[in-house]
Structure 1
Amino acid sequence: MPDNQSSMPFPAIPVQRPRQQVENQIKRAIVDGTLKDGERLPAEQALAQSFNVSRTTIREALRSLVEGGLLEKGPGTTSGLYVQSVDHNSFSRIVSERLSSVLDIGSVSPEEVAGFRDLLEVPSARLAAEFRSDSNLANLHDIIDRERSVTYDDPAIPELNAQFHCEIANASGNRVLAAFVSALHRTAHPLTLVNITEELGRDSVIHHVNVYRAIEKRDPGAAAEAMQGHLSYLRNHSVTDGNLASIG
C-alpha cells in the first residue's frame, strides 16, 4: 500500500501563529506601500475586529513591529502608532537609536567604536573610488571648501566632518554601509576624544583632500590607504581627558 504522506506533491508549510500572521500582513502592507509613511494605524480594537483575533494578539504583533522599526509611537500616551518609511535612511535611524542606548549605558568602549569605524570607512572609501558620481565629487569638494574656510575650533567642524564621511559612504553605492556610517557619526561621534590643536585641524583637512583626490581619480587602493592613514593619525592623537573635540 503506497505511503500517502511521502507521495504528497506539496511541501509541508509550518502553520503560523495568529500574532505572526497579523505581523506579516501589516509588514507586507508597509513594504508594498498600502500603508504610507507617516500614516496612523487604526486602533487596537478595530485591528482586532479586522483580523478576527484578540486585542492581545494585535498588541503583540504591533510591539514586534515597533521594535523592528516599522512603526513608531506618536507623542503622548493616546496618539497611536504611525508607519515609518522603509529605506536606508529609516534603517540608519533605527541603528542610531540602538547604538545610542548601548553607548549611554557604557557597554561599548571608545576603542571598539574606533575599530568598528575602520571596518566601515576604509572599505567605504575603496568602494567610493569605484562607484562615485560627479554629484558625489561636487558634494565632497563643497564640504572641503567649507572646512578650509573655518578655524579648527569652529563649532561647525564636527558637522562638516560627519557630512564628509557620510557622503563618501553614499558614494560607495551600498545603502546598508551608508546607513551604518551615518548612524556611527550622528550618534557615536567617533574619535570625539581628540587633542585639539591647530595642527591637527589643518592635517585633518589635508587628509580629507587626499581621500577626495583618490576617489576623484577612481583609485580604490589609494582611497583606502588615505582613509586608513587618516583614521590612524586621529587615533594616535586621541586622549582620555582634557580638551575635547569631535574632529574625525
Structure 2
Amino acid sequence: MPIEYEDVVRTGVAKQVADKIRVAILDGRLKIDERLPTEEELARSFGISRPTVREALKRLAAQNLIRSQRGPTGGTFVKRPDPEGLSSAITGAATLLVGVGAFDIDEIIGARLETEAICCRLACERRSENDLAGMRAEIALQRSASLSDEDFCASDVRFHRALVTAAGNGPLSLMMYTVVEAFMPITNMIVFRVRERNRVATFHQRLADSIEARDSVAATAALSELLAYVRESYAGSLKRRAEREAAQQRG
C-alpha cells in the first residue's frame, strides 16, 4: 500500500492515520474495492497499537470511505464515496455557519443566483420529460390552498432539487446540494409568513415553462426575479419581527 508511514506524531494519532488513508483514497493511490492491510499490519506499519488502528478505521467508516466484509474473502475495503453522504456533511456545516451568522442574506442570495443560473442554462439543454413532470407536479401541489406552510416549503425545495437534477451534471449537483438542502430551508423558515405562496408558484411556473421551451434567457430572468422576491420577503419578515419586539417592549 503506497502510503508514507513516517512522520506520524503521537498527538491525535488515530485522526492522523485516518487522514493519511483518506488522502490516499481521494488521490487514487488506494483504489475502489481495494483491500486494506489487516489491523495488525497497519499497526506495525504505522508503529501504533491495534486499538488506535481500530479508532482510525472507525473514523473512515463514519465518512463512508471504507467498508468491512466478513468471511474467508473478507477484510476492510475502500468504498466508493457516496456523493449524497459527502454532501450531507457539507450541508450540516453550512447550516451551522448560517445559524451563527457567518453568511448574510445577500451572500446567500448572490451565491444561489450565480450557481442556480448555471443549472437553468444546462437544464434548458438537457431536461427530460421526467424532469419537467417532477417540476410541474410540485407546482400543482403548491397551488393547493389546503397545503400546510411546512409542506409548501418542502415542495419548494423539491422543485429546485428537480431543476438541479435536470441540469444533468454530477459535480454541479454536489455543489448545489448545500444551496438546496441547507440555504433554502433556512431562508424558508424566515420568509414563509410574509411571502405569497401563489406568487412563488407562479415564478416556478415561469421557470418550468422556460426550461421546457429551452429558453435559458427567460429561465434565468425568472430565477433572478424569484430570488429578488425572496430577498424582499426576508427583509419584510425581519421588519415585522423588529416591530413586534418594539411593541412588546412598549407594552
Task: Give yes or no for the alignment of 1:233 onto 2:229.
Answer: yes
Instruction: Find the aligned partners of 1:218 and 1:225 in 2 and give their Cα distance.
Output: 13
* Match for residue 48 of structure 2 among 30, 50, 55: 55
Give the aligned partner of residue 206 of structure 1. 202
Give the aligned partner of residue 119 of structure 1. 114
Give the aligned partner of residue 215 of structure 1. 211
Contact 2:22 2:65 in 1 (8 A): no
Instruction: Find the aligned partners of 2:29 and 2:170 in 1 and give their Cα distance.
Output: 23
Name the amino acid aligned to 2:138: I
In structure 2, the CA distance between the partners of 1:82 and 1:183, relative to structure 1 (3 Å rule), is farther
* Match for residue 165 of structure 1 among 160, 163, 179: 160
Instruction: Find the aligned partners of 2:41 and 2:93 in 1 and give their Cα distance.
Output: 29
Q: Which has the higher contact order (CA 8 A, sep 6+)?
A: 1
* Structure 2 counterpart SS, 1:118: helix
CA RMSD of aligned residues (A): 3.7
Give the structure with the higher percent helix: 2
Taking the TM superposition and a 5 Å limit, the aligned residue runs for 1:42-121 are 45-46=39-40, 48-49=42-43, 52-55=45-48, 58=53, 65=60, 69-71=63-65, 86-121=81-116
Deviations 1:32-66 (A, max 9, x none): 2347xxxxx999x44624x7332378589659857
Q: CA deviation at 1:90?
A: 2.5
* Match for residue 144 of structure 2 among 138, 141, 149: 149
Contact 1:152 1:202 in 2 (8 A): no
Q: Gapped runs of 5+ residues in structure 2?
A: 6-16, 67-75, 242-251
Q: Percent identity?
A: 23
Instruction: Find the aligned partners of 2:41 and 2:85 in 1 and give their Cα distance.
Output: 25
Name the amino acid aligned to 2:214: R
Contact 2:142 2:197 in 1 (8 A): no
* Count of equivalent residues: 213
Name the amino acid aligned to 1:184: V
Q: CA deviation at 1:216?
A: 0.6
Name the amino acid aligned to 1:196: R
- The runs of 4+ residues in structure 1 deviating greater than 6 Å are 81-84
Q: CA deviation at 1:223?
A: 1.0
Q: CA deviation at 1:158?
A: 0.8
Instruction: Find the aligned partners of 2:208 and 2:134 in 1 and give their Cα distance.
Output: 11
In structure 2, the CA distance between the partners of 1:165 and 1:52, relative to structure 1 (3 Å rule), is same
Name the amino acid aligned to 1:145: A
Give the aligned partner of residue 123 of structure 2. 128
Deviations 1:106-141 (A, max 9, x none): 322233222211122122112111111111111111
Q: TM-score, normalised by structure 1?
A: 0.69
